[in-house]
Structure formats: C-alpha cells, structure tokens
Amino acid sequence: MLNIILFGPPGAGKGTQSQQLKEKYNLTYLSTGDILREEMAAETEIGKKVKDIISKGGLVSDEIVVSIIRGRVEANQKSAGFLFDGFPRTVRQAEMLDGIMNEFSLKINAVLSLEVPEEILINRMIERGKTSGRADDNIDSIKHRFVEYNEKTKPVLAYYEKQGNLKGIDGVGKVEDIFATLCNEIDKISKK
Ligand code: AMP
C-alpha cells in the first residue's frame, strides 16, 4: 500500500495535483476540505456545526476531522493506498493519524510538501475566489487561514521531519512540471 500526505499551505495546488495523482496511482483520495464541503452542502449535523468556522477560515476541531478520516480509512482497507490532502493540519491530528495507521497496520510512506511563497498564494486564492464559489475565498478569510496555517499547521512539518518522511517539493511553476516532480518522488518511494 502506498499512503501519501500531500502537504502545503492554502492555495499551494494540493487539490489540482491530487486529481492527477489519485488517477495515476489508483489511490483513495481523502480531502478533509472536500468532505466538509460535502457535509455542508448536504446540511448534515457535521455540516451545520462546521459552517461558520470554515467560512471565517478557522480550523475545524481535531475530533471531527479525525473521526471522518478514521471512518474512511476503515471503509477502504482494500484500497491500493490513501492520498491525504489538507489533513493532518495540527500536530494532534498527525499523532491521531499515526494511531489510525497503527490500528489498521498501515503506515505513511511519504509526506510531500508543496512549497510556495505566501505572496504568490494570496494572489492565487483571490483569483480562485472569483470563480470557486467558496465562502472562504475572500480576503479576510484567506488572511485568517494563513494565520491558522502558520500557527497550527506548520509545526506538522517538524513532526514528519523527525519521522524522516518529509520531502519538500518546489510548488512554483507549471502544473505538469510539479506533477512530474511529485511522481518522481513517489516512484522512488514505491521502489524502496
Ligand atoms: P481546504 O479545502 O483543505 O482548504 O479546507 C477548507 C477549510 O476546511 C479549512 O480552511 C478548514 O476550515 C477546514 N478544514 C479542512 N481540513 C481540515 C483539517 N484537517 N483540520 C481542520 N479544519 C480543516
């Protein structure tokens, strides 16, 4: 099994790259952002609970996202692997993900971290907001998402660095070039 975390700040291109990666490697794609947006659209209990936090650019509680992930991992144990996008976003989530991986005798093979300077990201997200229809792609929420990222999500990098799983990837450039770099890393890992 090939279990990959695609890591990176908001707007780094995780969603775009994931679409191609999941196809190429036949992975079960788990984007907590997408799942939470589905919950909001379906107006489920979870959806109602997270709506305000998400629209303001805050982070949803660790318990909610971890229980979603646990359910999806449990339901897809026969998969060729998992591609996590936008999860984990706190050190606690990373620790709890290790717990889930242990529970199902799985492990994270690589954490690929897309690196893009913040100025580029903010412009990209303002552009995206013109067509995305996302309630959190407005300037105030975007700013708040970066505060959350810098305070709570960045420390996750050190967590995986310690585990020896972290690989930085230059996320500036053409989508297809970045995709090629990601595939190159994944192919190296899967040969190990
Ligand atoms: P994304 O689509 O990954 O940018 O996520 C959109 C929003 O969903 C984030 O700004 C958070 O409010 C929420 N969210 C997504 N994933 C997580 C997570 N792992 N932990 C907490 N909140 C999350």
Q: Which two three-digit tokens encode residue 53?
A: 């936090």
User: Tokens 């305000």 belong to which residue?
Assistant: 52
In angstroms, what is the span from residue 70 Cα to ligand 1's centroid?
16
Q: Which residues line ligand 1 (CB under 6 A)?
A: 10, 32-33, 36, 53-54, 57-60, 65, 86-87, 89, 93, 136, 145
* Rounded distance between C-alpha atoms, residue 74 and residue 76, angstroms: 6
What pLDDT digit, counting tens, does each position of 104-158 carry?
Answer: 999 999 999 999 999 999 999 999 999 998 999 999 999 999 999 999 999 999 9
In angstroms, what is the span from residue 191 Cα to ligand 1's centroid?
32
Return the minimum-mean-pLDDT range out of 11-15, 132-136, 178-182: 132-136
What pLDDT digit, counting tens, does each position of 17-64 carry?
Answer: 999 999 999 999 999 999 999 999 999 999 999 999 999 999 999 999
* Rounded distance between C-alpha atoms, residue 179 and residue 144, angstroms: 28
For residue 58, the ligand 1 atom closest to its alpha carbon is 12
Average pLDDT value for residue range 61-76: 98
pLDDT above 90 (res 191): no
Give the residue from 39, 15, 7, 5 showing the smallest Cα distance to 125.
15
For residue 61, the ligand 1 atom closest to its alpha carbon is 21
* Rounded distance between C-alpha atoms, residue 61 and residue 188, angstroms: 35
Site to substitute for ligand 1 among 6, 54, 84, 159, most atoms within 8 A of C-beta? 54
In angstroms, what is the span from residue 190 Cα to ligand 1's centroid?
28
pTM (2 d.p.): 0.97
User: Tokens 């908001």 belong to which residue?
Assistant: 10
